[in-house]
Structure 1
Amino acid sequence: MSTKFKRALPRIAYQLRIELQHIEPLIWRRILVPDTIKLAKLDRVVQAAMGWTNSHLHDWHIEQQRYGIPDDEWAGSGDMRDERKFTVGAVLGEQVNEFMYSYDFGDGWDHRITVEERLPIQEGCNDWPMCLAGENACPPEDVGGPPGYMDFLRAMRDPRHEQHAEYWSWWGGPFDPTGFGINAANMAIRKLR
């Protein structure tokens, strides 16, 4: 007799607010994710909603535990739990209301994530990851973290700035720091499915 493994059906949708730290004005996103997705998949959803390109390492800090992709060759991953083995529902449950996500350890992009709501699943409505809202553009990759991003914005706004032409060329033209498109965020998330 063969045993068939059934995929767990989601019971709860977590509404999460992601806020990029150390930047003014605030860059934020609101996403909805089912409890059954793994933290590894949540990483990809956060990346897509924010506008990051998944080009660097990341980790999660949830209830005094650290999650990510352990790597024996990387000295900093000894205490890391494998994010591919834990679902969002298992690590957040009913009690966790806030946690941290760090991306690009060199640039140091810290994201505070707040659990805004735990909603019952309505099949076909909220049983897949999606972006619900957000404001302001994601900083460019490799811009130098929050201080580098602020320098980048100053130079891009001022044609007389000594680095204006260099940044303009590096970025490929103008940069709108207020630019956020919910449709583009959801298209990027949909490509993950």
Structure 2
Amino acid sequence: MISFFGFLLFGEGTLDDVLANFDTDLGIPFSAVLNDAVRLSYAAHLMLVFPVVFFPLRLNIDGLLFSKSKPLVMDNFRFASLTISLISVIFLGANFIPSIWDAFQFTGATAAVCIGFIFPAAIILRDRYNIATKGDKILSVFMIVVAVASNAVAIYSDAYALIKQNKTSRE
């Protein structure tokens, strides 16, 4: 919705980062007030959405790392340690990743491959009810190998482009 209304407001002059358009005078009455209102509403949106996204992240990481332990709500030390660790990683990522587009490149290279190829093939390999045939399992292993290889190429090309871009910007 932000992108859609940003395009309606700025037309062909819409920048990649829509919020960057609100750094200038919009040429309308109360332009500064509108700029501040948009920025404050976006900050409020982030503050309200973060806990909704962070809760399942913390719960899933706890389930992966401590699957045999008692529930997270019953262990205050583990809850606090996991929360502080995750927030620290998120804070460091937010401060040291130069551009959101870099993060999107690596997320797209990994998440899309996992969701589209690796997870479905892993489900077939796990096959609790013995529905999958031997051919299905061989195809699943092949699909995982190809997905991991293509994922490695995508991550390598993203990292190479990022390093090359940093070298050219320094020179």
TM-score (normalised: structure 2): 0.28
TM-score (normalised: structure 1): 0.26
Higher strand share: 1
